[in-house]
């Protein structure tokens, strides 16, 4: 028995060069939604969560589960939310709230421009931290105290987030 004819013509070196993709691999390569659409959906979800729930902790945990579900799985994850996932959810909520209230100031600061003299934030000497969160700047930046106390996040005073905090 010699086997099928195609097996006689099989060249192992050539087979290594050929790659075959399953439907699942193709879907991962070509996502169905653009980042802009996903970003817009996240914005709507965050607004809905902030409106619907009366606890910042609950909103944070729900959003963390949602972010976990939409993030590609790289490795085995525990059955509980990690501290990193909860921090990411909190940052996302703060960024969302800041963008809704201080869009112009954020755009100016990202372009390294001075914010408008009539801005509500002008006296706070605001800056954007490495995570993209708007923070108070000023004379405490060299003080020997915790970073969050030196440069607190700027939360719009009449926002739903401020109510929940």
Q: In whole numbers, what is the pLDDT of the chain averaged over residues?
A: 78
Q: Write out the two tokens for 136.
A: 């108070």
Give mean pLDDT, residues 114-131.
Answer: 87
pLDDT in tens, 14-60: 554 455 555 555 455 444 444 444 555 656 888 889 989 899 999 99
Average pLDDT over residues 54-69: 91
pTM of the model: 0.67
For the chain, the structural domain boundaries read 5-164
Residue 138: partners with Cβ closer than 8 Å, 6 or more residues away: 124, 125, 151
Collect contacts of 102-108 with beta carbons under 8 A, ≥24 apart: 102/134, 102/154, 102/156, 105/134, 106/134
Q: In angstroms, what CA-CA distances link 11 with 14, 17, 19, 130? A: 5, 11, 14, 52
Q: Where is 135: in which H helix or E strand?
A: strand 134-135
Q: What is the pLDDT of residues 135-145, one digit of tens each?
A: 888 766 666 67
Confidence of residue 93 (pLDDT cuts 50, 70, 90): very high
pLDDT, average across residues 61-72: 88
Percent of the chain with pLDDT over 70: 68
């Amino acid at each position: 028995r010699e086997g099928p004819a195609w097996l006689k013509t099989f060249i192992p070196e050539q087979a290594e060069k050929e790659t075959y993709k399953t439907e699942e691999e193709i879907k991962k390569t070509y996502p169905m939604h653009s980042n802009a659409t996903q970003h817009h959906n996240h914005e709507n979800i965050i607004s809905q969560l902030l409106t619907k729930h009366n606890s910042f902790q609950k909103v944070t945990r729900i959003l963390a589960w949602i972010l976990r579900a939409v993030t590609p799985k790289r490795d085995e994850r525990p059955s509980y939310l990690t501290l990193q996932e909860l921090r990411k959810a909190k940052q996302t909520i703060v960024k969302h709230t800041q963008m809704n209230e201080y869009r112009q100031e954020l755009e100016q600061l990202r372009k390294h421009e001075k914010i408008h003299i009539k801005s509500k934030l002008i006296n706070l000497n605001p800056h954007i931290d490495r995570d993209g969160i708007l923070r108070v700047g000023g004379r405490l930046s060299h003080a020997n105290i915790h970073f969050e106390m030196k440069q607190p996040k700027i939360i719009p005073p009449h926002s739903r987030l401020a109510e929940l905090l």
